[in-house]
Amino acid sequence: MRRIALASVATITIALIALIAGPRSVSAAPVNWTGFYIGGNLGYGWGSDTGSGFNSFTDIPVGGSFFGAAGYFGAGGNVLPGVTPKGVIGGGQIGYNWQNNPAWVWGLVADFQASGMKDSASATVTPPGFVNTIQTNDSKIDWFGTVRGRAGFTSANWLLYGTGGLAYGKVRTDTRLDCAPCAPPQFFAGSTSQTKAGWTLGAGLELAMFPHWTVGAEYLYFDLGKITTTAALVSGTNSGTTFASESAFRGSIVRMTFNYKFAP
């Protein structure tokens, strides 16, 4: 899916170059980028591996534990899989540009978008001498936004820019550790949902098609930091045992943008 998304953006960008640069390359007057603009975006995002394995555990006293977490993990039972949230993203943006000379443009932009970036994975393990467990990890980015500066070089009706600033979003992780063969069966689960703040860097290419309309392609790398989720007993007899995992939310988005620019 990542390759398809990148290829789609590249294809659309090349098509725009062919469509616009041809008929307007000689006669088109330079664009004045100064002013407010508002628009929308649609694209695809893919995350880095959020992290695998449980980072820590607590266990009730020896003699009451359902299998002994330390021994179980020590024998190779810590296999909580890592996941890579990915999916379609889309939303809107508003910004302002300053063109203080014919070649350079500076600006500020804020955007907000819904996110379908999510992933889930399960692993089954049976360490020597122990019963098997099923360990499940789910991660999702519900929505995110950015507040960024932009600085770019313009020629005729083109704007090539770099961008960076604040990124923020709501992230969620759910984990489970199920031991159905235990006597009695033991099931642990946990969920954490937080609004996190981090940073983003990227670059983009924007094209003025008509006096007030622009289209573009943009890439952003983002890092929203980490959250910790603790799986506690939901069914069974050993309420003193918990399993904690840490998930990192970082990744990339590539998207098409379209904007309406108001007169300066």
The amino acid sitting at 206 is E
pLDDT of residue 3: 54
Q: Which residues of 115-152 are buried (b: 16+ CB within 10 A; e: fewer)?
A: bebbbeeeeebebeebbebebbbbbbbebbbbebebeb
The per-residue pLDDT for 51 is 84
Q: What is the pLDDT of residue 156?
A: 86
31 vs 158: CA distance, rounded Å = 8
> Looking at per-residue confidence, does 21 or 50 come out higher?
50
Question: Which pLDDT score, from 0 to 100, does residue 13 have?
Answer: 46
- Which pLDDT score is estimated for 69? 80
The CA distance from 257 to 205, in Å, is 10
Which amino acid is present at 203? Answer: A
Count other C-beta atoms under 10 Å from residue 195's C-beta: 12
Q: Which residue has the tokens 């039972």?
A: 77
Q: Which of 239, 233, 246, 198 is nearest to 52 (CA)?
A: 246
Other beta carbons within 10 angstroms of residue 210's beta carbon come to 10
Name the band, by pLDDT with cuts 50, 70 and 90, for residue 24: very low
The Cα 253–Cα 2 span in angstroms is 9
Per the CB < 8 A criterion, the answer to whether 212 and 252 are in contact is no
User: Of 84, 97, 86, which Cα lies nearest the Cα of 216?
Assistant: 97
Q: Say if residue 186 is exposed, middle or buried (CB neighbours under 10 Å; 0-12, 13-18, 19+).
A: buried
**pLDDT grade, residue 160 (50/70/90)?**
very high
Checking if the pLDDT of 168 tops 80, the result is yes
Which tokens belong to 221?
A: 């790398």
Distance of alpha carbon 120 from alpha carbon 140, whole angstroms: 9
Side-chain-side CA neighbours of residue 34 (13 Å): 9
**Residue of 220 and 30 predicted with greater confidence:** 220
pLDDT at position 140, please?
97
Q: What CATH class has 2-261? A: mainly beta
Tens of pLDDT, residue by residue over 104-151, are 999 999 999 999 999 999 999 899 988 899 999 999 999 999 999 999
Supply 26's token pair.
């000689």
What is the SS3 assignment for 195? strand
Query: What is the C-alpha to C-alpha distance for residues 65 and 31, in angstroms, rounded to an integer?
Result: 71
User: What's the confidence (pLDDT) of residue 235?
Assistant: 82
For residue 224, the model assigns a pLDDT of: 97
Q: What distance, in Å, lies between the first and last C-alpha atoms of the chain?
A: 40
Calpha distance 80→73 (Å, rounded): 11
**In terms of pLDDT, which residue wins out, 115 or 183?**
115
- What are the tens digits of pLDDT across the range 228-261? 999 998 887 767 788 999 999 999 999 999 999 9
Backbone φ, ψ for residue 155 (5° rounding): -145, 125
Report which of 177, 43, 42, 152 is spatially closest to residue 101, judged by C-alpha positions.
152
Q: Mean pLDDT score of the chain, rounded to an integer?
A: 87
